[in-house]
């Protein structure tokens, strides 16, 4: 019994071992081993500080560095044996270190607890993940800008309530998404600031009794500052929640874009084609080409929202300081990282694979009286109050609809019956090109403005 219990690093005061079920229930090594690089990096920084401060000897440090180097190679080569008995990534690595270098390995944990160790590892992991996400987000945003540039002047119907509203250019429409994803990048950058703070030194919860130097560890790990309060340092998971909130907003944007891609790809609309490599067929209907990637991205959005809810709920009733509940922070966080990273990889590539069906977009613009507002604006410029202009154009739309033509299909005489102010020059206003060109101010859809917006977007990238 006793010897069995003692296989645990912490088992000194225990008299019976945990059951296999409890062992599995409490272990995290299956999912936290992915933080092994961060665990080693954190341990190296901690050990170097201990040696600098004279808390361990230079020769202990040399042993620790050598041992961790071996472990690094073993894990990378897939030769490292992970053990459920050793609970988590931290104890697995520490135990192996001791097996490799003896007493020096046992000294590594001086002035440290797994509580500040795990908090440090997660922050390092997340900071690296945010950097990867930012790089991918940049690629994706620039792919959107490239497509927007190609289609800067391609007219399509803009919708409100999913009814044809006014002409816009496809480039302008894409730049709306560029703005959303740029705000996402800002949010990730902001979250990174609060992630890059060092918990080490907080030890279990109250701090360490050795002459530690936390600032130097923070500097070595590239953190911006140390966590100010030891209790907060070991129990704070705000950064993970913020990250999942930023991921949720990002996925919400991806989901909106996906919804549009799915609609645009439907043969009933036919605004775009997506390269075959992002679609799949049906096992029964040979004619089908399904937009699986955008559909799945739309679906995965729900799963990321779920992770945000998990983490918020995980933290809501925890008393200070560390509680084992915190071990449950990893799977939601890691899955949010994976989902967002994979989604970005695919979308950056997919943006390149979009072909625009300008003919169908133009065709859609001939239905729905997209230039009705332009006619009203024309009458206002002739001196009619806007509400009267709105009424007159409403009558004109009714007449055109019953005749099955667009507003520009009505003769000048017919148009004049709705307002005597209408003259020959009205046709310039009723065309899609005229409607687009008229919205010529910052943020407007005039192709000239879209090109200027693209130049600004490139500068921001």
Question: Cα separation of 426 and 418, whole Å?
Answer: 13
Closest distance to ligand ARG from the beta carbon of 38 (Å): 13
- Kind of pairing, strands 272-274 and 225-226? unpaired
Q: Which is nearer to ligand ARG, 32 or 151 (CB)?
A: 32
Contact 265/290 with Cβ under 8 angstroms? Answer: no
Closest distance to ligand ARG from the beta carbon of 234 (Å): 9
Q: Which is nearer to ligand ARG, 32 or 60 (CB)?
A: 32
Applying CB under 6 A, among 41, 46, 109, 114 the residue interacting with ligand ARG is 114
CA distance to 31, 214, 425, per residue, from 201 (Å): 25, 6, 76
CA distance to 7, 57, 244, 322, 341, per residue, from 191 (Å): 40, 38, 10, 22, 16
Q: Which is nearer to ligand ARG, 205 or 437 (CB)?
A: 205
Q: Does 28 bind ligand ARG (CB under 6 A)?
A: yes
- Gyration radius of the chain's alpha carbons: 31
Catalytic residues: 161, 282
Phi/psi of residue 280, each to 5°?
-135, 165
Q: Which is nearer to ligand ARG, 203 or 272 (CB)?
A: 203
* Residue span binding ligand ARG (CB under 6 A) among the ranges 1-9, 114-122, 333-341, 403-411: 114-122
Length of the chain, please? 461
Applying CB under 6 A, among 1, 324, 424, 459 the residue interacting with ligand ARG is 324
> Distance from CA of residue 143 to its chain's centroid?
16
* Residue span binding ligand ARG (CB under 6 A) among the ranges 220-228, 310-318, 322-330, 357-365: 322-330
**Residue count, binding to ligand ARG (CB under 6 A):** 10
* Residue span binding ligand ARG (CB under 6 A) among the ranges 162-170, 279-287, 288-296, 324-332: 324-332
Closest distance to ligand ARG from the beta carbon of 83 (Å): 14
Q: At what angle do helices 238-265 and 114-150 cross, to 10 degrees?
A: 30
Q: Which is nearer to ligand ARG, 88 or 236 (CB)?
A: 88
Closest distance to ligand ARG from the beta carbon of 32 (Å): 6
Closest distance to ligand ARG from the beta carbon of 118 (Å): 4
Contact 433/371 with Cβ under 8 angstroms? Answer: no
Local structure of residue 290 (DSSP, 8 states):
B
Contact 116/207 with Cβ under 8 angstroms? Answer: no
Element (H, E) at 273: strand 272-274
Helix, strand, or coil (residue 287): coil
Question: Cα separation of 165 and 380, whole Å?
Answer: 19
Q: Does 326 bind ligand ARG (CB under 6 A)?
A: yes
Q: Which is nearer to ligand ARG, 97 or 375 (CB)?
A: 97
Contact 165/158 with Cβ under 8 angstroms? Answer: yes
Q: Which is nearer to ligand ARG, 32 or 184 (CB)?
A: 32
Closest distance to ligand ARG from the beta carbon of 8 (Å): 11
DSSP lists the bridge partners of residue 225 as 197
* Residue span binding ligand ARG (CB under 6 A) among the ranges 169-177, 209-217, 320-328, 438-446: 320-328
Applying CB under 6 A, among 310, 327, 408, 445 the residue interacting with ligand ARG is 327
Which of the residues 35 through 94 are near ligand ARG (CB under 6 A)?
88
Closest distance to ligand ARG from the beta carbon of 199 (Å): 11
Token look-up 């799945």 returns 296
Residues that bind ligand ARG (CB under 6 A): 28, 32, 88, 114-115, 118, 322, 324, 326-327
């Amino acid at each position: 019994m006793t010897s069995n219990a003692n296989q645990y690093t912490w088992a000194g005061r225990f008299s019976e071992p945990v059951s296999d079920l409890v062992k599995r229930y409490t272990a995290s090594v299956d999912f936290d081993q992915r933080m092994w690089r961060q665990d080693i990096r954190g341990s190296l920084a901690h050990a170097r500080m201990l040696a600098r401060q004279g808390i361990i000897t230079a020769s202990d440090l040399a042993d620790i560095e050598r041992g961790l180097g071996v472990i690094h190679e073993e894990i990378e080569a897939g030769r490292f044996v992970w053990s459920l008995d050793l609970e988590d990534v931290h104890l697995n690595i520490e135990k192996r270190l001791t097996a490799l270098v003896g007493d020096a390995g046992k000294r590594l944990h001086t002035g440290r607890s797994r509580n500040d160790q795990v908090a440090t590892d997660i922050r390092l992991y997340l900071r690296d993940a945010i950097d990867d996400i930012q790089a991918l987000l940049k690629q994706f945003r620039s792919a959107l800008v490239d497509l927007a540039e190609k289609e800067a002047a391609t007219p399509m119907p803009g919708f409100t309530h999913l009814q044809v509203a006014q002409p816009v250019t496809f480039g302008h429409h894409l730049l709306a998404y560029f703005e959303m994803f740029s705000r996402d990048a800002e949010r990730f950058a902001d979250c990174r600031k609060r992630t890059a703070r060092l918990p080490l030194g907080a030890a279990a919860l109250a701090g360490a009794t050795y002459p530690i130097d936390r600032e130097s560890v923070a500097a070595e790990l590239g953190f911006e500052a140390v966590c100010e309060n030891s209790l907060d340092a070991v129990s704070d998971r705000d950064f993970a929640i913020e990250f999942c909130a930023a991921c949720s907003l990002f996925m919400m944007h991806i989901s909106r874009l996906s919804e549009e891609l799915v609609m645009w790809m439907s043969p009933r609309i036919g605004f775009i084609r997506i390269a075959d490599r992002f679609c799949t067929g049906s096992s029964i209907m040979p004619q089908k080409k399904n937009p699986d990637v955008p559909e799945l991205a739309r679906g995965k959005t729900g799963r990321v929202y779920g992770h945000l809810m998990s983490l918020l709920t995980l933290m809501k009733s925890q008393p200070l300081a560390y509680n084992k509940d915190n071990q449950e922070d990893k799977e939601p966080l890691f899955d949010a990282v994976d989902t967002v990273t994979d989604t970005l990889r695919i979308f950056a590539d997919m943006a390149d694979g979009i072909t625009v069906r300008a003919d169908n977009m133009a065709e859609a613009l001939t239905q729905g009286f997209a230039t009705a507002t332009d006619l009203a604006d024309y009458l206002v410029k002739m001196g009619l109050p806007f509400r009267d202009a709105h009424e007159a154009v409403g009558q004109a739309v009714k007449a055109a609809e019953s005749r099955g033509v667009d507003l520009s299909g009505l003769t000048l005489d017919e148009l004049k019956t709705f307002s005597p102010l209408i003259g020959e020059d009205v046709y310039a206003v009723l065309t899609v090109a005229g409607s687009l060109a008229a919205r010529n101010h910052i943020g407007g859809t005039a192709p000239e403005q879209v090109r200027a917006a693209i130049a600004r977007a490139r500068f921001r990238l």
